[in-house]
Every structure is written in C-alpha cells, then in structure tokens.
Amino acid sequence: MAQSKRVELDETDRRILDELTRDARQSVTALAAKVHISRAHAYERIRRLHEQGVVLRYTAVIDPAKAGLEASAYVTLRLKQNTWDTLGPKLRRIPQVQHVALVGGTFDVMLLVRARGTAELRDVIFERIQPMPEVVDTQTFLIFEDVDVGG
C-alpha cells in the first residue's frame, strides 16, 4: 500500500472535518453556519476535501451488540517477511474484519474482528486467518466492553 501524500489543511478545513466527524448527515447549510462560512464556500471546501482524499467516505457508527455482533476481539498477527502486499487484500475481504492496521512492534498487524457469536469468531480466526500462508502467529484479545469516544 502506497504512503499517502499529506494535504495542507487550514483552520476552516479542520473545523469542517470536525463537523463532518460529529455528524456527516447534517446539511451543508447547517455545517456552513457552524463554521461561519457561506454555503457555497462550504460545498466547495467539502468537494476539495473529497478530491484530495482527505474525506474517504461517509459511514454509520453502529453499536455492535445491538447489531447482533456479540463477539469482538483484537487479533494480532506476526507475518512472514515481505508478505504484507499479498495478505492485506485477503484480510480486507473477510467481512468480520472491521479494521486492519499494519503496525510496528512485537507483531506486524492488528485486526478488529466482530462476529455474531464466539463460534463465528473462532471460525474466522482459526479457519480463515491462521491458515493463511503469510501468517506466522496470532494472538487474540477478547473485547468484553468497548466504547466509541469519537465524535
């Protein structure tokens, strides 16, 4: 995966991003009023942030338990050397893998895995992830409770 080029953001861009993070469904008119710019200016700024790849997509933040995802875990992976380019796309195709991070330290990758129950979680980890030829070792950390502190 290629490193993204940094985009220069001014204070207005940062305030727009804060507002979008808080509530991406608000109207451009409402956002413009909160940021103290015109609607046309807000629309243009948001369009530019999309084109520059700063805003990637809009998504809903769900309560996993209420959505039926009652088993969650962070799973760390140690990889065979130089296998990230083939492993990354495979991990992103597993629906239960909600976040993939290439990290430095005693392991190489950290995953957030959410499943309908412990049997499905076990299947994803033991039957889908561990057998991948790029994976040397895994460690699983069950999540008993998690709190979204963003937005």
What is the reported pLDDT for 52?
95
Q: What tens digit of pLDDT does each residue of 72-131 get?
A: 999 999 999 999 999 999 999 999 999 999 999 999 999 999 999 999 999 999 999 999
Residue in the block written with tokens 């700024």: 45
Looking at the structure, do residues 30 and 86 belong to the same domain, yes or no?
no
With respect to residue 71, please indicate whether it lies within any of the assigned structural domains: yes
DSSP assignment letter at 117: S
Looking at the structure, do residues 14 and 84 belong to the same domain, yes or no?
no
With respect to residue 67, please indicate whether it lies within any of the assigned structural domains: yes
Host domain of residue 26: 9-50
Looking at the structure, do residues 67 and 97 belong to the same domain, yes or no?
yes
Dihedral of the CA atoms 81, 84, 104, 112 (nearest 10)? -130
Looking at the structure, do residues 40 and 68 belong to the same domain, yes or no?
no
Report the alpha-carbon distance of residue 124 to residue 100 in Å, rounded.
Answer: 14
